[in-house]
Structure 1
Amino acid sequence: MIDLIVEIEISGLNCVVGKITGNDYNDARFSYTVDYLQMEGSRPISLSLTLQTEAFSVHATRNFFEGLLPEGFIRKCVAKEVHADTNDYLNILAVLGNECLGAIRIVDNEAAIPVTSYKLLQDAEIKALAQEGATESVQLITKSHLSLTGASGKVGLYYEPESKKWFFPEGNAPSTHIVKQSHIRLKKIVANEQLCMLTAKNLGIEIPESFIVNVGSDNKEDILFATRRYDRKFDEDSAVLNGLRVPYRLHQEDFAQALGIAAGDKYEKNGAAYLKRSMRSEERR
Structure 2
Amino acid sequence: MTFAELWLTYQLASRAHLKNSATTQLIELEFQNHKLTDLEDVLEHGTPAIVNCIVSHLTNAIAVYTVFRQGFVEAQYRPLTWWEKKDGQKVKASHSVEELLVQGVGRCPETALKLIVQDVPTSLWFTYVYRHNASAPAVVQRVKLVGTETHGRLELLANVTNHIFKEGFLAAKLRPLVHWETPCGNKFEEHIRVQEILAGGVGSSEEKPLRLIVDAPHVPAPGCHKPAPIHVPVCHTPVHHIHHVHEHEHHAHEHYTYSPCH
Per the normalisation by structure 1, the TM-score is 0.25
Per the normalisation by structure 2, the TM-score is 0.26
Larger radius of gyration: 2
- Larger helix percent: 1
